Amino acid sequence: MYQYNDKDQTLIDERVAQFRGQTERFLRGEIGEDQFRALRLMNGLYIQTHAPMLRVAVPYGLLNSRKVRKLAEIARAYDKGYCHISTRQNVQYNWPELEKVPDILQELASVQMHAIQTSGNCLRNTTTDHLAGVAPDEIEDPRPYCEIIRQWTTFHPEFAYLPRKFKIAVSATTTDRAATQFHDIGVHLVKNESGDTGFRILAGGGLGRTPIIGKIIKPYLEKQHLLSYLEAILRVYNLHGRRDNKFKARIKILVKETGVEKFTEMVNAEWQQIKNGMELSEQRINDIKAHFAPPAYLTNADQDKSFALHKKQDSEFATWIKYNTADHKIAGYRAVFISLKAPDSPPGDITHTQLDAIADLSDQYSFGEIRTTHRQNLVLADVKQADLHQLWQNLNTLDLATPNIGTITDIICCPGLDFCSLANAGSIGITKQINEAIDNQDYIHDLGDIKINISGCMNGCAHQSVGHIGILGVDKKGVEWYQITLGGSSENEAAIGDRLGPAVAKEHVVKTITTILDVYIQQRLEDESFLNTVKRVGITPFKEQVYANH
């Protein structure tokens, strides 16, 4: 993974010192609330219902064992012993003390980590496929480009006070696992007719209150122009994005109101002015690529016989392999998902003991690297098949082997009323109820690929509008109600879910979900997936059943 050089380290150390000074000035009353708010947000610090929340950046979801041990240590020393993986692959602490945050940032800096630009109206953490570098269907490893973008976005002097937050996602595979069509900018690695790798650029996608699918504004961009093109988009957005209404300030509204053709023209005109002189050199790209060189894979890992034997003898292990591991580009290796969706724990939460244990397991089995996913799980990307059985047993004792990745209980859920001051609804509580109601593993597996996303308010942090089943908490005269949508997807065939009908009361949510599942089972053709069934039969059969008994 990327290793800091002296410059990177100096910059984050200086950032810690800067924020320490700002915090001290705030506590002495020398900086106003509003000003400090902007400054702390750009250092990842929110003030929530109970306490501050600190969001730590995990650039493109990549961690190593040293970093994970530090996260565990911080959870012990400064928090209540756990932390949370967010839908943007970052790590969140829910109970730090404001006065201690500079110390936490200093701890993070000691392992090349930070909380820079993880919130606020600025350029946020760039995300990518959690299987980057190991996915069999990859054109090229996207992470070197993510790192190049990370450096460019970090402390960008011109774009620190944008109309609204700004998120970039990069994907390099035919199957989009990074939801690039729902980002302010989506970057796809593609090959042109002569076989050269470049980028397809999308802009104006986004979730939240007004979900919009991004539009292609540049079908093919030569590699060397990546940063000048991003800069052109950002400059057009910074100057023309709406600042009069927070809810209309994202780039998606600018693209929509300007029209994609006109917007593209504006970007291209700006780009023509700046492209010469901002080129990425082949040398620079190669230098960064060297940081992501493949680890020392065994060439005969697939010769191992024990894996097949264990699968045959141990059906639980075989099930786990089926759901919680993915194909790897090297024969004899698999990528392993660590499920943070055990039925009795809030989605994405992880304790300090689990973190320490995962760090050890990664050292032992996966070259010391760990990834976070936007579905709030973790990945050990490079495990040899001979080690899988042992690893599974270890994960099992840690309650990290629930075989539910990609199933209905792999729920994406925002913190909701439990932590967030904007919430209308207790999303974590709903998750728990669903887990209690749907607890039969065979049934869960029979349902197959169903993604539920639950957000506690219109801001949609859990991306409910692209959930196969989306659940959104709404407030009706101080009472929690839930709006259900069906048929959303953030993958290749990006789609925004359709509303099932009127919102349902809290006590009817679980019944509504189980009714939807019953209708699916009645309606599906052989092994047709939930999403395809919804597409084929439409929303009406679901609607009729759900509202029949109301």
Partner 1 sequence: MQIIKDQKIVENTWTYIPDDTKLPAEISDITVSLSRWNEEYDKLEKYQGKVGIRINPDDSIESLPPSVMKAALIEVNFPVFTDGRSFSLAQLLRTRLKFKGEIRAVGQFMPDQIFYLSRVGVNSFALENQESLADAISMFDDFSDSYQASVN
Distance CA 363, CA 531 (A): 38
Q: Which residues bind partner 1 (CB under 8 A)?
A: 7, 10-11, 14-15, 17-18, 22, 25, 30-31, 35, 38-39, 121, 151-152, 154-163, 235, 238-239, 243, 273-274, 278
> Closest separation between CB of residue 460 and ligand SF4, Å?
6
Q: Is 51 in the site for ligand SF4 (CB under 6 A)?
A: no
Q: Under a CB-based contact definition with an 8 Å cutoff, are residues 323 and 407 in contact?
A: yes
> What is the SS3 assignment for 110?
coil
In the list ligand SF4, partner 1, none, the entry touching 68 (Cβ below 5 to 8 angstroms by class) is: none
- Reported residue count of the chain is 550
In the bound state with partner 1, the residue whose beta carbon lies nearer, of 118 and 362, is: 118
Q: Is 149 in the site for ligand SF4 (CB under 6 A)?
A: no
> Closest separation between CB of residue 86 and ligand SF4, Å?
9
- Tokens 């004792």 locate to 397
In the bound state with partner 1, the residue whose beta carbon lies nearer, of 224 and 441, is: 224
Contact segment (CB under 6 A) with ligand SF4 among 219-227, 238-246, 305-313, 416-424 equals 416-424
Q: Is 414 in the site for ligand SF4 (CB under 6 A)?
A: yes
In the bound state with ligand SF4, the residue whose beta carbon lies nearer, of 83 and 457, is: 457
Cα distances (Å, whole numbers) of residue 397 to 160, 292, 393, 402: 45, 32, 6, 11
> Closest separation between CB of residue 487 and partner 1, Å?
38
In the list partner 1, ligand SF4, none, the entry touching 179 (Cβ below 5 to 8 angstroms by class) is: none
At 369, the amino acid letter reads E
- Token output for 438: 């749907």
- Tokens 């600025």 locate to 122
Distance CA 545, CA 520 (A): 11
First to last CA, the chain: 54
- Token output for 124: 């946020």
In the bound state with ligand SF4, the residue whose beta carbon lies nearer, of 51 and 216, is: 51
How would you classify residue 117: left for phi > 0, otherwise alpha for psi between -120 and 50, otherwise beta? Answer: left
Q: Is 420 in the site for ligand SF4 (CB under 6 A)?
A: yes
In the list partner 1, ligand SF4, none, the entry touching 420 (Cβ below 5 to 8 angstroms by class) is: ligand SF4
Strands 369-372 and 62-64, sheet pairing:
antiparallel
Kindly state the number of chain residues that form the binding site for ligand SF4, as judged by CB under 6 A: 12
> Closest separation between CB of residue 369 and partner 1, Å?
24
In the bound state with partner 1, the residue whose beta carbon lies nearer, of 148 and 411, is: 148
In the list ligand SF4, partner 1, none, the entry touching 51 (Cβ below 5 to 8 angstroms by class) is: none
- Tokens 């809810």 locate to 247
Distance CA 75, CA 350 (A): 10
Distance CA 222, CA 229 (A): 10
Distance CA 205, CA 184 (A): 5
> What is the SS3 assignment for 180?
helix
In the list ligand SF4, partner 1, none, the entry touching 161 (Cβ below 5 to 8 angstroms by class) is: partner 1
At 276, the amino acid letter reads N
Contact segment (CB under 6 A) with ligand SF4 among 163-171, 188-196, 360-368, 408-416 equals 408-416
In the list partner 1, ligand SF4, none, the entry touching 157 (Cβ below 5 to 8 angstroms by class) is: partner 1
Please classify residue 150 by burial: count the beta carbons closer than 10 Å to its beta carbon, then call 0-12 exposed, 13-18 middle and 19+ buried: buried
In the list ligand SF4, partner 1, none, the entry touching 456 (Cβ below 5 to 8 angstroms by class) is: ligand SF4
Helix extents (H) in 218-314: 226-240, 251-258, 260-274, 282-290, 306-313
Cα distances (Å, whole numbers) of residue 12 to 22, 95, 384: 15, 23, 36
In the list ligand SF4, partner 1, none, the entry touching 455 (Cβ below 5 to 8 angstroms by class) is: ligand SF4
In the bound state with ligand SF4, the residue whose beta carbon lies nearer, of 83 and 400, is: 83
In the bound state with ligand SF4, the residue whose beta carbon lies nearer, of 395 and 420, is: 420
Sign of the Cα torsion 490, 493, 494, 500 reads negative
x/- mask, ligand SF4, residues 424-463, rule CB under 6 A, reads -------------------------------xxx-xxx--
Sign of the Cα torsion 123, 176, 326, 294 reads negative
Backbone angles phi, psi at 199, to 5 degrees: -130, 140
In the list partner 1, ligand SF4, none, the entry touching 413 (Cβ below 5 to 8 angstroms by class) is: none
In the list partner 1, ligand SF4, none, the entry touching 422 (Cβ below 5 to 8 angstroms by class) is: ligand SF4
Footprint of ligand SF4 on this chain (CB under 6 A)? 414-416, 420, 422-423, 455-457, 459-461
